[in-house]
Homo-oligomer: A and B are copies of this chain.
Amino acid sequence: MNNFSQQERDGVYKAIFSRRDVRAQFKQDPIPDDVLLRILKAAHHAPSVGFSQPWNFILIKDLETKRKVKESFNEERERSSKLIDDPKRSAYLALKLEGILDAPVNLCITYDPTKFGPFVIGRTSISETGVYSVCCAIQNLWLAARAEGVGVGWVSILSNNDLREILQLPDHIEPIAYLTMGYVTHFEEKPDLERTGWLPRLPLNNVVYFEKWGARDGNGWQKLQTELNGS
């Protein structure tokens, strides 16, 4: 059980490399319950600090709720567009940045710091690790969805205060992600912001250091460094 077949391993990399942050390609077809269950279970099996499983998943289909969230998006998008000038501003406003009303299912993932607390193993030195666990669950969900042919888009141009009010979150609960989910007409080859020329993908050797910050070579890393530069 420990070893992966070539095809199983390929499946993992395929999910990782072909996963997209979907905004424009949602179809209305409902996601079957068994598919949704598998995706949620995948999220629930993420690593969590001290096995605290500090996440909750709020599934949303209600049109009225989606409309309120969309309103929050519109306000935040307008507000943030004022931070930049033309031509960047116009380019920003021309981008399709969410599919809240297009996606059949919306999903808010939250963090509950009180779960199994107050003493959570591994969270006593770096308290943020609780939130980090929730993010790992989000990525599990995203990859499982991709393997099921379900697209996921993370809408972060939102007011968390609005989300709290709309979803009636208690004060101690922190909204971490608002996701839109559904089948798609297709998955794009590349991320939208790369495809449209907003930003380039960094070469891998740009983000890897050896032994300490900023070091492009290190004892015993020469071969990997050469391969990195050629990759």
A174 nearest CB across to chain B (Å)? 9
Q: How far apart are the CA atoms of A134 and B70 in the complex, in Å?
A: 26
A61-B221 in contact given A37-B231, A45-B17, A148-B9 (Cβ < 8 Å): yes
Residues in chain B near residue A11, CB distance under 8 A = 4-5, 7-12
Asked if B221 and A59 sit within 8 Å, CB to CB, the answer is: yes
The verdict on A59 contacting B144 (CB below 8 Å), with A45-B17, A92-B121 known, is no
CB distance from A128 to the nearest CB of B (A): 8
In the assembled complex, the CB of A202 is this many whole angstroms from the nearest CB of chain B, namely 5
Most buried by B among A3, A52, A140, A228: A140
Interface string of A10-42 (1 = CB under 8 A from B): 111111111101000000000001101110111
Closest to A34 in B: B227
Number of copies of this kind of chain in the complex: 2
Among B5, B136, B193, B194, point to the contact of A121 (Cβ < 8 A).
B193
The answer, among B47, B129, B220, B227, for a CB contact under 8 Å with A19, is B47
B157→A57 contact, CB < 8 A: no
Cβ A213 vs Cβ B169 within 8 A? yes
Q: A56-B208, A129-B156 are in contact. Are A36 and B143 (CB under 8 A)?
A: no
Distance A13 CA – B11 CA, assembled complex (angstroms): 9
Q: List 5 A-B contacts (CB under 8 A).
A: A4-B15, A5-B7, A17-B42, A58-B213, A76-B124
A: residues with CB less than 8 A from B are 1-5, 7-19, 21, 33-34, 36-38, 40-42, 44-47, 49-53, 55-62, 65, 76, 79-80, 83-84, 88, 92, 95, 97, 110, 116, 119, 121-126, 128-129, 131-132, 135-136, 138-140, 142-144, 146-149, 154, 156-160, 166-170, 173, 176-177, 186-187, 191, 193-194, 198-199, 201-202, 204, 207-214, 218-221, 223-224, 227-228, 231
